[in-house]
């Protein structure tokens, strides 16, 4: 064992020194690498990792810029040691990998191993029968009327008892809310824990408590994302063997996350054993009552639900309120729609918030909660645009780039315009026009389409209605400062969202 560690360390050192030396040499020769939108030049052994490393801090935008310059919206990226990755923003290719040739494109062994410590064998990190079982159970539960009502009730309680009072206090004291994104993350974290597990972490209390679990969850997500995007995956694997740096922290953080998830599962099992009938409507109770009681299996499900329910919805709402602050006509249209509903918007009224729905879709087009997603080819294949794919290659569809593609959205793609999703009928009311899911892949598509889509829209529209009826969210950043889009496994507004909360006047301006 000591010999293995020594050899690994030597290989790590040699590779790192070679990489730094060559990267410095090549980048000093080609100073435009940082801003170039051309397909990066590959070099023997190291592929295009020099350009990748130079642009790592802005890799989402960098790859999007490259894709915009290519007629087919698809290119092959050369990773180190002969590995290849296909990037695409072509809807025909997306349909091919997500539906037409679905059996050939899985999450894959490489992705599974990379995310294993954090996500285990949860629904986002598995293929085959394990995925099918989780999918079938989840699909059934997300479609139950009782769950829909439960979601509606939980969101309303969290909104009225926790979120709105915090915003009211900030408004009355005329203070600056240091990070509205954090408030929304706390809101969605409490929501998903109650909805999915019947467990209230009380993360959105007025004291805004810090918890070891949330810190561990954030670290696990960030480090897992760094693994997934690593220029040389071999390096994080060596760090894992040596148990140093970020890999040591991931081990600790993942243990913390799995510890709480395990406690939630055990307490729920005990609660169900003590009851003669199923009273709770949370998803975990339904999973356990359906006969799926293997602890490790259910723990993985718990973690996946938290990731899906907390980070994606809060990210979508953060960017939505930012865009709203810059487009008063959109704000006025939504406010008009909100004020036409009852004070506590019920399910049917939420469904009828057509303009708000369109504005949320438009916001997620420009700032998708999951900016990129990928599959691994289980067989050799040829994509619809003629790109050859070899078994083992990753094919990554770039959702962020697709939302900014002139080929898909036309010359006004950069405009925040909810009307592109709408048409007006004879009585002047708006009618929503859905977009092809392979051109707008924010919720994936095909057999793995997001099961929580309806729940997410219900939650977001209810939050928008509740906040906008009483308050205006006003960015408090320095003049001319634009927030930066960044991503781990899900997207974030880098540095948070500094805002003022202004109470609306009696005229509801």
Q: Give the C-alpha distances (Å, rounded to integers) separating 461 from 154, 319, 361.
A: 14, 14, 11
Strand partners, 499: 177, 475
How deeply is 377 buried, as exposed, middle or buried, from its count of CB atoms within 10 A (0-12, 13-18, 19+)? buried
Handedness of CA 244, 249, 252, 255 (dihedral sign): negative
What is the rounded CA–CA span in Å between residue 347 and residue 344? 10
Give the helix/strand (H/E) hosting 395. strand 394-398
Q: In the structure encoding, which two tokens stand for residue 146, read together?
A: 């009782």
Helical spans, DSSP H, in 352-470:
354-366, 399-403, 406-409, 453-470
Rounded CA gap, 75 and 66, in Å?
9
Sequence-distant (≥ 6) Cβ neighbours of residue 19 within 8 angstroms: 46, 49, 231, 232
The closest alpha carbon to 26, from 54, 67, 45, belongs to 54
Residue 203 and residue 190 in contact, taking contact as beta carbons nearer than 8 Å: yes
Q: Are the CB atoms for 207 and 340 separated by under 8 Å?
A: no
Q: Are 302 and 261 in contact (CB under 8 A)?
A: yes
Q: Which residue has the tokens 């540095």?
A: 495
- 361 marked ligand binding residue: no
Determine the Cα–Cα distance for residues 368 and 370; give it in Å rounded to an integer.
Answer: 5
Provide the token pair at 162: 């926790």
Decide if 374 contacts 442 (C-beta within 8 A): no
CA distances from 498 to 315, 316, 327, 474, 481 (A): 14, 16, 18, 9, 11
The values of phi and psi at residue 411, to 5°, are -65, -15
> Which residue numbers belong to the known binding site for heme?
450
> Which residue numbers belong to the known binding site?
450
């Amino acid at each position: 064992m000591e010999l293995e560690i020594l050899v690994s360390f030597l290989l790590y050192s040699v590779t790192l020194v070679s990489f730094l030396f060559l990267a410095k040499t090549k980048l000093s020769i080609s100073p435009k690498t940082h801003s170039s939108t051309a397909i990066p030049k590959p070099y023997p052994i190291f592929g295009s990792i020099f350009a990748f490393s130079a642009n790592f801090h802005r890799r989402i935008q960098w790859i999007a810029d490259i894709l915009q310059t290519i007629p087919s919206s698809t290119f092959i990226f050369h990773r180190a040691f002969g590995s290849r990755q296909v990037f695409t923003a072509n809807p025909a290719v997306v349909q091919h990998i997500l539906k037409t040739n679905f059996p050939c494109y899985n999450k894959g062994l490489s992705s599974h191993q990379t995310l294993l410590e954090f996500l285990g064998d949860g629904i986002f990190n598995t293929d085959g029968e394990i995925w099918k079982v989780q999918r079938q159970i989840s699909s059934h539960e997300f479609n139950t009327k009782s769950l829909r009502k439960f979601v509606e009730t939980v969101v309303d309680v969290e909104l009225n008892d926790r979120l709105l009072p915090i915003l009211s206090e900030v408004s009355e004291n005329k203070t600056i809310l240091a990070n509205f994104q954090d408030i929304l993350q706390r809101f969605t974290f409490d929501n998903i824990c109650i909805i999915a597990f019947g467990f209230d972490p009380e993360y959105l209390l007025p004291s805004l408590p810090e918890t070891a679990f949330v810190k561990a969850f954030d670290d696990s997500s960030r480090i897992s994302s760094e693994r997934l995007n690593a220029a040389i995956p071999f390096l994080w694997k060596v760090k894992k063997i040596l148990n140093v740096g970020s890999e040591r922290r991931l081990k600790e953080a993942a243990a913390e996350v799995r510890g709480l998830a395990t406690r939630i599962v055990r307490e729920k099992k005990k609660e169900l054993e003590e009851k003669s009938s199923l009273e709770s409507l949370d998803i975990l109770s339904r999973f356990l009552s359906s006969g799926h009681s293997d602890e490790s299996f259910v723990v993985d499900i718990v973690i996946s639900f938290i990731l899906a329910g907390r980070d994606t919805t809060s990210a979508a709402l953060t960017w939505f309120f930012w865009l709203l602050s810059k487009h008063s006509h959109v704000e006025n249209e939504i406010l008009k729609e909100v004020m036409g509903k009852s004070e506590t918007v019920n399910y049917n009224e939420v469904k009828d918030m057509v303009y708000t729905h369109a504005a949320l879709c438009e916001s997620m087009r420009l700032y998708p909660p999951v900016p990129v997603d990928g599959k691994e080819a289980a067989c050799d294949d040829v994509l619809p645009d003629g790109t050859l794919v070899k078994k083992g290659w990753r094919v990554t569809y770039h959702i962020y780039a697709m939302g900014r593609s002139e080929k898909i959205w036309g010359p006004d793609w950069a405009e925040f315009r909810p009307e592109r999703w709408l048409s007006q009928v004879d009585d002047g009311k708006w009618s929503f026009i859905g977009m092809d899911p392979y051109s707008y892949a924010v919720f994936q598509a095909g057999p793995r389409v997001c099961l929580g889509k309806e729940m997410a829209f219900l939650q977001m529209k209810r939050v928008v209605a509740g906040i906008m009826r009483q308050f205006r969210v006003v960015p408090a950043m320095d003049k001319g400062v634009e927030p930066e889009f960044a991503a781990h496994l899900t997207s974030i507004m880098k540095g948070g969202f500094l805002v003022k909360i202004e109470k609306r006047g009696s005229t509801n301006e």
